Amino acid sequence: MFHVSTTCPDLDTARALASAMLEARLAACANITPGVLSLFHWQGTIAEEEEVTLVFKTRAAHRASLVSLLEEHHPYDLPVITWEEVGASSDAEAWLSEETGGD
């Protein structure tokens, strides 16, 4: 199981991206966490923005497609998208595989 995460400028954007990935069956679940305060270097200054964190649960087979679709539809010039492989119970792995068209 992989977690793929990014931040979004607002809740509507996070919902739209989550819906697109779920409808495409690239993820079995999307978690949205509003109210994240991000500080980051951008164009020579340190910026501070309220953002929304968006995390997807997906399989290795779908990670690249999910990241590609996120990059295509994300409103940021440079969306920071990360992924990490995480352990899961066998029941959770089976659910993930079923929801994303796995074997």
Domain positions in the chain: 2-99
Residue 35 in tokens: 């109210």
- What's the mean pLDDT in 20-47? 96
> Residue 35 carries which DSSP code?
E
pLDDT greater than 70 at residue 103 = no
Give the C-alpha distances (Å, rounded to integers) separating 49 from 16, 21, 29, 52. 20, 25, 26, 10
CATH classification number, 2-99, choose in 3.30.70.120, 3.10.450.50, 2.60.40.10, 3.40.605.10: 3.30.70.120
In the chain the first and final C-alpha atoms are separated, in Å, by 14
Whether the model clears a pTM of 0.75, i.e. scores above it, the answer is yes
